[in-house]
Structure 1
Amino acid sequence: MTTTTTAPDLATVIGHELPYLRRYARALTGSQDSGDTYAAATLEAILEDRSVFDTDASPRTALFRVFHLIWQSSGAPVSGDESGLAAAAQAHLAKLTPNTREALLLNTIEDFSTAEIAEIMQTDEDEVAHLVKIARQEMEDSISGRILVIEDEAIIAMDLQSIVSDMGHAITGVARTRDDAVKLAQQEKPDLVLADIQLADNSSGIDAVRDILEAHGNLPVIFITAFPERLLTGERPEPAFLISKPYGEEQVRSAVSQAMFFSSTGPLHG
């Protein structure tokens, strides 16, 4: 009886957390394909040996801990197969202090506590705090540029402008609709697009981003949405960088630093 109920329960809890593991993996690697490969390897490891999934921890912590073990065992590799902007980003990634980005993302994007991160990374809380501090400095100091904000709510748009301006980035404009976004991108090509999904005239931030990418080539993109699971289904190309509403300042800072750092994302092509 126990055997028949354990498997569905484990599948259910993992299924609930999987979209967030995939979000983390993509932000960590800067690639949908690479991130999903590591997420899939995590699931395969659990299926092969249930003991790696620590039932004494929360399901979310246990799942991310298995991911981290796989990521570390692979050497947290930097791909040599990229070219252009992606190659430059990966070369820069190799110079970062080990484990700093993992700690930063777990804290600011996935909202794990310092104690939970210590459990995931198998270290102590002081070391986690140190890693997060280093990561913030290294990521924010690495690149600055021009950011286009696509957001129809004035207060949120002002908040986003304030956050990214304080980071040293320039704002090329704020668009409330798809057409406005395309026009602003034509006037001044941004280095990064920060886009809400639902816009003022019921147009789509996703469509606006597609239009901009078709006109200007590959740019790093961050989507903001109250429903992240709708963009993390595995059924189509998806964003590597995603912020959930309501967001915190540190989430925005971390995502912007990550996206600018990689300088190439593959959101929602085709």
Structure 2
Amino acid sequence: MSLGQQLHPHLPFLRRYARALTGSQTHGDAYVRATLEAIVAAPEEFPSGVDPRLGLYKTFHAIWSSSHLDDEPGFSGSIGQEAIAHARLARLTPLPRQALLLTALEGFTTEDAGYLIGLDTADVEALVEEALEEIEAQTRAKVLIIEDEPIIAMDIETIVRDLGHDVTAIAVTREDAVREALAERPGLVLADIQLADDSSGIDAVKDILAEFSVPVIFITAFPERLLTGERPEPTFLITKPFQRSTVKAAISQALFFDEATAPA
């Protein structure tokens, strides 16, 4: 099997990680493209003796640590000032959050995460603890949940409330979601893709975003369909079935970028 064939199944999930790390689909996908270009240009330098997924993420982190994509000719002009600001902010995404995303969102062990960011296991564990402490101190938000499966909705609501946030409503249809969003103006939206009336959570979110800006986390059992890099796609995405730690990390990172870019 060729190296490309080995890496292909892991690309959607690298896009997910890159977008969560940068807070932007545009910049996350750009770093993934740069990673693939580096692999194609020098396949002999691809990490050997490790799982292909680990090697892929290791190459990504090398690009992430050394690249300045927003300074490249033509890059900024095609994406606008807001995206440039996101890219510069992304460089400030601290190591604790990288460690948390690698373990909680991407499911790497602390040993593997240490390999990826160049630290030992004890250091990674300490970084994750630091990130969790930061989450505890994070500004509280009003959260709208768009989910038509009652058990999943209750599970998400419990996680959100345990993090100290308020749940404004649980909407099960596109119409409900838009109505509740306009009534309460939440600071975060958690949205399933498929809703009770066969409407789309994506369409519901588009309707909401047409009225006001708010960070959004999508939830789906089929992440590969929304991580192609070929069209406008979610920046933050959780895969069903999810772990509590995954939801916690995604909420924290979405609010991290929202708070960091908010006017003083």
* Structure 2 length-normalised TM: 0.88
* Letter of the structure 1 residue corresponding to residue 44 of structure 2: S
1:224 aligned onto 2:219: yes
Say if 1:89 and 1:261, in contact at 8 Å, map to a contact too.
no
Q: 1:114 aligns with which of 105, 110, 117?
A: 110
Give CA-to-partner distance per residue, 1:203-260, whole Å, 9 cap, x none. Answer: 11111111111122x2100000000000111221011100000000000000001111
Say if 2:110 and 2:121, in contact at 8 Å, map to a contact too.
yes
Alignment map for 1:131-146 (pairs within 5 Å):
131-146=127-142
CA distance in structure 2 between the aligned counterparts of 1:124 and 1:73, rounded to whole angstroms: 21
CA distance in structure 2 between the aligned counterparts of 1:91 and 1:204, rounded to whole angstroms: 31
Q: 2:57 aligns with which of 64, 68, 71?
A: 64
CA distance in structure 1 between the aligned counterparts of 2:90 and 2:38, rounded to whole angstroms: 30
CA distance in structure 2 between the aligned counterparts of 1:15 and 1:140, rounded to whole angstroms: 37
CA distance in structure 2 between the aligned counterparts of 1:262 and 1:158, rounded to whole angstroms: 26
Q: 2:150 aligns with which of 141, 149, 154?
A: 154
Q: Which runs of 4+ in 1 moved over 3 A?
A: 74-77, 80-84, 86-94
* Letter of the structure 1 residue corresponding to residue 55 of structure 2: A
State the match for 1:233 in structure 2: 228
Change (3 A) 1:121 1:109: same
1:99 aligned onto 2:92: no
1:54 aligned onto 2:47: yes
1:246 aligned onto 2:236: no
CA RMSD of the aligned region, Å?
2.5
DSSP-derived class of the 1:239 partner: coil
State the match for 2:256 in structure 1: 261
Flag structure 2 segments of 5+ consecutive residues without an equivalent.
71-75, 260-264
CA distance in structure 2 between the aligned counterparts of 1:53 and 1:31, rounded to whole angstroms: 26
* Structure 1 length-normalised TM: 0.86
Change (3 A) 1:64 1:160: same
Return the offset for 1:72. 1.5
- Give the fraction of aligned pairs with identical amino acids, expressed as a percent: 51
* Letter of the structure 2 residue corresponding to residue 159 of structure 1: D
Flag structure 1 segments of 5+ consecutive residues without an equivalent.
1-7, 265-270
State the match for 1:175 in structure 2: 171
DSSP-derived class of the 2:137 partner: helix
Q: Which moved more, 1:149-158 or 1:134-143?
A: 134-143
Q: 1:185 aligns with which of 181, 201, 226?
A: 181
DSSP-derived class of the 2:143 partner: strand
